[in-house]
Amino acid sequence: MKPVVALVGSPNVGKSTLFNRLTRTRNALVADYAGLTRDRIYGNVDEENCRFILIDTGGLTEQTDNMAELMRKQARLAIDSADLILFVVDGRAGMSAADQSIASMLRQDGKDVLLVINKTEGEHRDIVAAEFFALGLDTPQVISATQGRGISELLQRISSKI
Ligand code: GDP
Ligand code: MG
C-alpha cells in the first residue's frame, strides 16, 4: 500500500498551493482568503523514488463556528489515516497562537511530523527556521510553494520518512 501524507496547518498558509505543486495538478482550490478548502482532497505524488498519497485539508482554527468544526473533523480524519504529517506554517506571518496549538495537538498524537515553512522566497533560511524553533519540532523544511524553493529537498525528506 502507498504511504499517506497529510497537509495540516492554519488556513491561508499555502497547503493547497503545495498540494497542487506536489501532485502536479490544480485539483486543490487556492484562494487568498481563509477557509476555502473544506473537505479532504486526495492526490497522487508520483516522483522517482517518492510515491505517496497526499491529502489536503482545510485549515485548523480556534474558531467555534460550524465550518471550523467541519474542517477540524476533516483534518482529524486525515491525520488519523496518515503515515506522515506535513505541518505547514507561513514564514512571512511568523509563528501564530494557532501554530502553537496545532503543534501541541500533533505532539499528543505522536505521529511523525515534518514542519514545513512556506512563503519564504527572499528570506534567509536560518532566520525563518529560528522563528519557529519554539514549536519544539525537528529541523523545518523551508520552502516556497509558489516559487518552487526547497521542493526537491522536501520530497527527499518525505521519502526518508515514509
Ligand atoms: P491554504 O488555505 O493553506 O490551502 O492556502 P492556499 O494554498 O489557498 O494559499 C493561500 C494564499 O497564499 C494564496 O494567495 C497563495 O497564492 C499564497 N501562497 C501560497 N504559497 C505561497 C508562497 O510560497 N509564497 C507566497 N508569497 N504566497 C504563497
Ligand atoms: Mg486550502
Q: Residues 32-60: pLDDT tens digits?
A: 655 555 567 889 999 988 999 999 988 78
44 annotated as a binding-site residue = no
Q: Answer yes or no: is the ipTM higher than 0.90.
A: yes
- pLDDT > 90? residue 23: yes
Beta bridge partners of 44: 53
| CB of residue 15 inside a 6 A radius of ligand 1 | yes
Average pLDDT score over the chain? 91
- We report the CATH number of the domain holding residue 35 as 3.40.50.300
Query: In the chain, what's the furthest Cα-to-Cα distance?
Result: 42
Full domain range(s) for residue 59: 4-161
| CB of residue 144 inside a 6 A radius of ligand 1 | yes
Residue, of 158 and 70, whose pLDDT is higher: 158
Over residues 90-111, the pLDDT tens digits come to 999 999 999 999 999 999 998 9
User: How many domains does the chain divide into?
Assistant: 1
Compute, in angstroms, the gap from residue 32 CA to the centroid of ligand 1: 7
Would you state the pLDDT for residue 25?
86
Best of 17, 86, 87, 117 for a ligand 1 pocket test (most atoms within 8 Å of beta carbon): 17
